[in-house]
A and B are shown apart, each in its own frame.
Chain A
Amino acid sequence: DSGVTQTPKHLITATGQRVTLRCSPRSGDLSVYWYQQSLDQGLQFLIQYYNGEERAKGNILERFSAQQFPDLHSELNLSSLELGDSALYFCASSVAVIRTGELFFGEGSRLTVL
């Protein structure tokens, strides 16, 4: 158990819909990262938050947005869903904004868009 909690574990929805994925970081970790894992694309970096502020942005689609709340949990919002958005979405956390050690990953949220 990494200490990072992600909900829901599985989600099935239809094209055009909107979903919210939730992540609670390890106790004491201030940085939260979101990664998308598709079959052929490995782990694609989406976005990083540190203590409530956006710190780095990857190839995150405009239909996607995220935020980190004062209690440090984070939510990733995916809207106008397309078939290609089906993937495993990982949240990870670390203590600091600078990555000098391990990122602790949650178990992931598997999104299926039908």
Chain B
Amino acid sequence: GENVEQHPSTLSVQEGDSAVIKCTYSDSASNYFPWYKQELGKRPQLIIDIRSNVGEKKDQRIAVTLNKTAKHFSLHITETQPEDSAVYFCAADPNQAGTALIFGKGTTLSVSS
């Protein structure tokens, strides 16, 4: 089955800096790659996703890149703000019968002002 590795597990940046979180996946059949943000004590919420036919997607200060050949994808947050502090999860989904959305173990991002 699918396995997702996520790095780093913790990331501390200064306000205004950029943050990059990287993930690798094992199942070449995976074709959907969402990123979820979980604030302290809250539920995970989707912030951006990318499908396998696209190499990059941007939404304001966040962007995701996908390299299907290398089986890795990354989240880029520019001009970080204190409210970006949260746990970020990447995930991969083969979207086939019997499979599921598999999450990485998460990255705790701390943005200090």
Contacts and interface: CB of A to CB of B under 8 A. Distances in A.
Chain B binds chain A? yes
Interface of A: 2, 33, 35, 40-45, 48, 55-58, 90, 98-103, 105-108
Contact of A58 (B95, B97, B100, B106): B100
Contacts, number: 54
Contacts of A43: 44, 89, 103, 106
A45 B44 contact: no
15 contacts: A35-B103, A42-B6, A42-B104, A42-B105, A43-B44, A43-B103, A43-B106, A45-B103, A55-B97, A56-B100, A100-B32, A103-B46, A105-B43, A105-B44, A107-B42
A100 B105 CA distance: 22
A41 to B, nearest CB: 7
B98 A55 contact: yes
Chain B interface category by residue count: 20 to 34
A42 B89 contact: yes
Given A2-B43, A48-B100, A99 B89 contact: no
Contact of B43 (A41, A57, A101, A107): A107
Most buried by B among A2, A55, A99: A99
A56 B102 CA distance: 12
A37 to B, nearest CB: 9
Nearest to A38: B105
A45 B100 CA distance: 7
B45 interface: yes
Contact of B101 (A42, A57, A99): A99
Nearest to A98: B95
A60 B102 CA distance: 14
